[in-house]
Each structure stands twice: as C-alpha cells, then as structure tokens.
C-alpha cells in the first residue's frame, strides 16, 4: 500500500464518521457475543460499521432491533410512512457522508421498486434488512403474493441478496453484508427468513 | 403569481454554503439556470423522494442549511415524507415547492393543487415550524429570510405561473452528480 493510498483511506473513514464509535457500550448490549440474538448481532454490526441513520417501517420481527437503534444516541432512527422513503433517506445520508440502513418487512420491498433507481444510478450504498412474511407457517394469505417474489424482485432491481435461514449464520452474513455494501458501494439486502424470525402469534 | 425562474434566482443569489436537493422535472431547469453548482444534487427520477433525500442530508450535516426545491407533482407523490420530517424536526431543512398546479413535463395536466388541495395545510399539520405561501415578487426577500435564517423544518410554497421556459439541462449521470456533491462537501463549502 502506498502512503498516498493510506491517506486517502483515512480521510474516507473520517468522512463517514466511523472513528466516533470507539469503545462505546450500549446498555442493551449483552455480555457474551455467542449468546446474542440476531437483532443484537445486527445492531452490534451497525455500531461496528458506523451506521448513523436507520429508517424503518415496523414489523413485529424487527421490534427489538428497532428498540436497540432508538435507544442509541449515536443513531438517528426515522420511522417512515412507507418503505420507499427509506431509499431517499439513505441516499441523502450518503450524500452527507453518513452510513445508513433500512429495516422493513418483505411486503415493503414492493413499495420501493422505482425508488431503487436512485441508489442504483448514483452508485450509493444501500443496506436493507428484510424480515420475511408469506413464506413459512404464514397465517395471512395476502402476505404470500409479495413474500414469494421478494428475493427475485430485489435481484431484478440490482441488489445482492443474502438470505439467512439459521441463527448460527447471522453473525458472518450480516458482517459481510455491511462490509460489501459500504466498502464496495453496493445495494445489499439481508433477508431474514420467516423460519429464523419465528411465527407471528395472533392470539396474544 | 410568481415567475418561477426569477423566484428561484432570488432564493439562490449569494447562497453561501447552502446545500440544494432538486426534485425531478421543471425545478431542475430553474435551479440549474439560477446557479448550477456542485453543491446541487439533481434527482432525474425517483419521483417523490426529494424531501427524504433532504432529510437524510439534513441529519448527516446538522451544521449546514439544506433546501429542497421541487414541484407540486413531485411533492404530492411524497406527502408522507412531510410527516416523517415532522417527526424528526430537522432545524436545518427547508422544502421549497414551486407550485404551478400542473404536471408541466407531461402535457400540463392539472395536479391536485389545481383543485384546491393545500400543501401548506399539510405541512402545518405535519408540524413544520413555519409554512407559508408566496405569490408576489416583492415577497421574495421574506422567503429568503425564512430559508436562510429561521429554524426548520420550513415549508416555502411558491405560487408560480404555469409556463414553458427554456430547458437548462445540468448533468444527468447520477454517479457524477453524487461524486461532485460529496467531493464539494469533503473540501468544505464553495470553491
């Protein structure tokens, strides 16, 4: 690595604010990494990657991850009226030198299709976490229409799609997804399968 | 009724380190005609996203003023984003809607505002700190004062005449636009 390259890289990291995240302990963090649930693993990767904005439309499966982001003073959380707003949010964040992520349910992917052109045409990083409905032990048939085409839809729109079925794969895949999205300016969707997230309980 | 190009020119005159996001369509030509600068980011698609791009930028750059210039059609497609902005209350964000009450790029079909739908009322309902309509050229200094000095989120609604003006076309390549914008931000302010 040349000295010149090293300087450029340090400027880039400072611009994206990753350096502000050294040694900060979140109150909701659990002590043992091996015992973390998948929302905690994703959240700890948000910290590691220096993500400063998180837009979301709530889903029952995302509630703990949303709670972790809301209680972090270094992360601006934005509740959205529709998932497509999140694409504008991450684009604006990237233009302003910050990293951002979007959380949504699979039905929200369909709402975003034309908006994806923004991050694709401008080659901006776009990192999304999608909890699945309509694919496994689904109670509501209306969820199946979008759930059955979510992966294909994302690929058609130019996303790298990483599907997670098992809890033991979460840490590796989420870390890799964060890295390739921000280091290589890619559109990346991490699909959290309905089997991983668990059945929605209707009678509680 | 305001002349859209003159109004935008007055708002962007001596703009300092103002950052501009521009929604697709006719506002692009107005902003490019007034001041085609590297601190402008033009959306040539993704209709309805301009205000949200402005919000993401405002949160990322809290020490800079951000102005989103867009048309009534583009704003109508992203009405929900006014609610999202109202929740976040960014003090450095102004939305400027150039409302000619028509879809000017597609054959001048009347838009919802032509039937009396009030974007200012929507913005006030979404807890914008201030939302005002402007109709006369002599009010431009007040709009300027709002945009550059007052705490946001701000909503500046400009009643502009429905007219076809010369198209002033800025860069269309998204990678170049984004790169120019972030490069300018890294080195700080205008050069």
Q: Other CB atoms closer than 10 Å to residue A1's CB: what's the count? A: 6
Q: Where are the beta strands (DSSP E) in chain A?
A: 51-56, 76-79, 99-105, 126-131, 160-164, 187-192
Rounded Cα gap, residues A52 and A162, in angstroms: 22
Does A203 fall in a domain?
no
Give which of A8, A96, A112 to mutate to test B binding, by max B Cβ within 10 Å. Answer: A96
Element (H, E) at B41: strand B40-42
Rounded Cα gap, residues B24 and B153, in angstroms: 21
Structural domain of residue A7, as residue ranges? Answer: 3-197
- Measured between CB atoms, which of A88, A94, A114 is closest to B52? A88
Assigned token pair, A141: 């048939």
**Count of domains for chain A:** 1
Q: Which residues of A touch B (CB under 8 A)?
A: 11, 15, 52-53, 76, 78-82, 84-98, 100, 114-115, 117-118, 121-124
pLDDT in tens, A94-127: 999 999 999 999 999 999 999 999 999 999 999 9
Identify the CATH number of the domain in which residue B98 sits.
3.40.50.970
Structural domain of residue B87, as residue ranges? Answer: 4-187
CA B146 to chain centre: 13
B179 Cα to chain A: minimum distance (Å): 8
Identify the CATH number of the domain in which residue A160 sits.
3.40.50.970
Q: B159 CB contacts (<8 Å, ≥6 apart)?
A: B1, B2, B99, B133, B134, B135
Per-residue pLDDT of chain B (191 residues; tens, 9 = 90+): 999 999 999 999 999 999 999 999 999 999 999 999 999 999 999 999 999 999 999 999 999 999 999 999 999 999 999 999 999 999 999 999 999 999 999 999 999 999 999 999 999 999 999 999 999 999 999 999 999 999 999 999 999 999 999 999 999 999 999 999 999 998 765 54
**Count of domains for chain B:** 1
Assigned token pair, A79: 């509740």
Q: A177 CB contacts (<8 Å, ≥6 apart)?
A: A127, A160, A162, A188, A190
pLDDT at position A19: 43
**Residues across chain A:** 204
């Amino acid at each position: 690595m040349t000295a010149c390259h090293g300087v450029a890289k340090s400027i880039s990291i400072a611009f994206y604010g990753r350096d502000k995240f050294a040694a900060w302990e979140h109150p909701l963090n659990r002590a043992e990494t091996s015992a973390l649930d998948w929302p905690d693993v994703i959240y700890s990767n948000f910290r590691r990657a220096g993500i400063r904005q998180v837009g979301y439309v709530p889903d029952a499966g995302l509630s703990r991850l949303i709670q972790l982001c809301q209680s972090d003073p270094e992360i601006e959380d934005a509740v959205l009226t529709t998932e497509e707003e999140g694409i504008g949010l991450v684009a604006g964040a990237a233009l302003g030198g910050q990293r951002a992520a979007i959380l949504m349910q699979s039905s929200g992917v369909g709402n975003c299709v034309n908006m994806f052109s923004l991050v694709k045409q401008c080659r901006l990083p776009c990192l999304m976490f999608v909890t699945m409905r309509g694919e496994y032990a689904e109670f509501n048939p209306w969820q199946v229409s979008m759930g059955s085409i979510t992966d294909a839809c994302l690929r058609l729109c130019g996303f790298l799609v990483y599907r997670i079925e098992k809890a033991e794969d979460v840490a590796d895949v989420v870390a890799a997804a964060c890295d390739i999205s921000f280091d290589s300016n890619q559109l990346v969707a991490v699909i959290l399968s309905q089997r991983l997230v668990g059945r929605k309980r209707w009678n509680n | 009724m305001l002349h859209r190009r003159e109004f935008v020119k007055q708002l962007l005159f001596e703009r300092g380190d103002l950052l501009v996001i521009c929604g697709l369509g006719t506002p692009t030509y107005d902003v490019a005609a007034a001041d085609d600068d590297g601190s402008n980011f033009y959306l040539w698609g993704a209709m309805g996203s301009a205000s949200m791009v402005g919000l993401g930028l405002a949160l990322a750059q809290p020490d800079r003023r951000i102005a989103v210039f867009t048309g009534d059609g583009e704003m109508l497609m992203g009405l929900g984003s006014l609610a999202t902005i109202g929740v976040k209350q960014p003090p450095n964000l102004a939305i400027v809607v150039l409302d000619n009450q028509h879809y000017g790029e597609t054959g001048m079909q009347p838009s919802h505002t032509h039937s009396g739908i009030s974007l200012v009322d929507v913005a006030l309902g979404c807890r914008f700190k201030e939302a005002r309509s402007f109709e006369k050229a002599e009010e431009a200094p007040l709009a300027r004062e709002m945009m550059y000095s007052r705490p946001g989120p701000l909503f500046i609604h400009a009643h502009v005449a429905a007219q076809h003006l010369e198209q002033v076309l800025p860069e269309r390549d998204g990678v170049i636009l984004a790169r120019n914008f972030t490069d300018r931000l890294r080195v700080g302010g205008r050069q």
